[in-house]
Amino acid sequence: MGSYTWKSVWGPQYHESMVISLCSLLLCTALSFSTSICLLVQRFSLILAVAMRQILIRENRKLDADDKAVMEGVDRSRVEEAARLEGITFEQAMEKRKGFRYLY
């Protein structure tokens, strides 16, 4: 680009043309770094999405384990009593209790 910005009136040392060439070089360098940074951000967001998905899967497993714990112990009698009061089966009461799960 510098060769196209050389005016003969700027001669014989052409300082203005060198400044223009240097600014062009700096602009191109900054643009290439910004492209690299965008690619890094994109990769980081992909890694973050995968990590978040694994966290949600783990949380759903914890909720499933809690539901299994209800099937045994004191909470089972509470669910059975609630089912009896509502006039539904124990399985239906468990489905109503289950309700919430994380989507991934």
Predicted pLDDT of residue 72: 75
Predicted pLDDT of residue 98: 75
pTM: 0.54
Predicted pLDDT of residue 3: 57
HEC readout, the chain: CHHHHCCHHHCCCCHHHHHHHHHHHHHHHHHHHHHHHHHHHHHHHHHHHHHHHHHHHHHHHHHHHHHHHHHCCHHHHHHHHHHHHHCCCHHHHHHHHHCCCCCC
pLDDT bin (cut points 50, 70, 90) of residue 97 is confident
